[in-house]
Amino acid sequence: MTNSVKTIAIVAGEASGDLLGSLLLDAIKQAFPNVRFIGIGGPKMQAQGMEVLFPLEKLSVNGYIEVLRHYRELIGIRRNLRERFIAEPPDLFIGIDAPDFNLDLELALKQHGIPTVHYVSPSIWAWRGERIHKIKQAVSHMLALFPFEAPLYQKAGVQVTYVGHPLADMLPEAPNRSEMREQMRIMPRNAKVFAFLPGSRQGEVRRLARTYIETARLILQKVPEAQFLVPLASRETRTIFENEIWKQEAQQLPITLLFGHAHDAMIAADGALVASGTATLEAALLKCPMVITYKMPALTYWLAKRKQYLPYVGLPNILAGKFVVPEILQDDATPENLSQALLNLVSNKHAVAELEQTFGAIHRTLRQDTAQKAAAAILPFLA
């Protein structure tokens, strides 16, 4: 390798992108120490020495309504990055997820001769499949996390590498539930424990907090010794959930709010109620039976539903190619429906054993030494 310093510009959107980015940065540095990283990332990417131009939270908006509300600010940030990177071209641009933000930026940079890699395929298999034409124009190389994605890109003539999912490398294949309960001081050890994950974004937590608290109330009526672990991703989301507990006068409920520790909560739990997203994959990899739920603004949901190709939204169901865990969404996501589905699931030993087998197969498929594979696909651009 040459001694000249190479510059990689990177834009990650939200916490999952920060994790992916930090692992990738580490793997690139191991293979190519003379490299400088600049762009948008979170604390994990900063810890790898990345120079952050804008905080990652600026990009963490989802849904049509929320994006419209922040539209001018997002456009301004993208214009700023585009002008900066065209004036001082990096050797490579990597967009991590955030396709609505990154693809337009990648298109502009590629037209100016800057190679572009997109890490995490947009879900063209679930909705908005027509985006593959734009991706072909914007992206020099796609890094796909799921095995069924690569053939779609090969067919469209887009360079692609299937790299697996880094969570499958990081998470244990056989988590120890009793050891985790001991570590978390859960008493009694055989209590029915539920992990409630309301999402990492403030809007998600606002929409789900009340429903989650009422669901806990209904479960307690049938399982008086039940306990609830609620991991929250940030101080803001914790405050939102805490305020809702006071509003619902639910201080007496056995709800333990955790700052982070989502993986610990899922390992300790008999079952989980999970807001759709990466957390559903984490629950599957940790072999935790789950019910998937989600609520979004009515207009956003209606628009998304019209463009949806698959009958399911949760990653475990998408990867299995069938409904293996219940999905209770939008207006159906009532405390009555959610509590009933969770109790039905955790009390069915046969269903739980089958789920563990399915989740184990998913884990083995996705474990690919992802960061090293992704770095190997990127290094030719730095040669």
Query: What pLDDT, in 10s, does the model give residues 253-273?
Result: 999 999 999 999 999 999 999
* Distance from C-alpha of 129 to C-alpha of 152, rounded to nearest angstrom: 10
pLDDT, residue 14, reads 78
pLDDT, residue 64, reads 47
pLDDT, residue 12, reads 94
* Distance from C-alpha of 47 to C-alpha of 50, rounded to nearest angstrom: 7
Query: What pLDDT, in 10s, does the model give residues 281-305?
Result: 999 999 999 999 998 777 776 767 7
Query: What pLDDT, in 10s, does the model give residues 74-96?
Result: 899 999 999 999 999 999 999 99
H or E element, residue 26: helix 14-31
pLDDT, residue 302, reads 73
Read off the DSSP letter of residue 331: G
Q: Is the pLDDT of residue 65 over 60?
A: no
Mean pLDDT score of the chain, rounded to an integer?
92
pLDDT, residue 242, reads 97
More confident residue, 158 or 276: 158
Query: Domains, the chain, ranges and CATH?
Result: 6-164+368-382 (3.40.50.2000), 177-366 (3.40.50.2000)
What residue has token string 């600026």? 58
Q: How many CB atoms lie within 10 A of CB 204?
A: 23
More confident residue, 15 or 331: 331
pLDDT, residue 240, reads 97
pLDDT, residue 68, reads 63
What type of residue sits at position 315? L
pLDDT, residue 351, reads 95
* Residue 251 and residue 223 in contact, taking contact as beta carbons nearer than 8 Å: no
Query: What pLDDT, in 10s, does the model give residues 127-151?
Result: 778 899 999 999 999 999 999 999 9
Helix, strand or coil, per DSSP, at residue 188: coil
* Distance from C-alpha of 21 to C-alpha of 32, rounded to nearest angstrom: 16
Distance, C-alpha 340 to centroid of its chain: 26
What residue has token string 């998913």? 362
pLDDT, residue 67, reads 58
What residue has token string 């990899």? 285
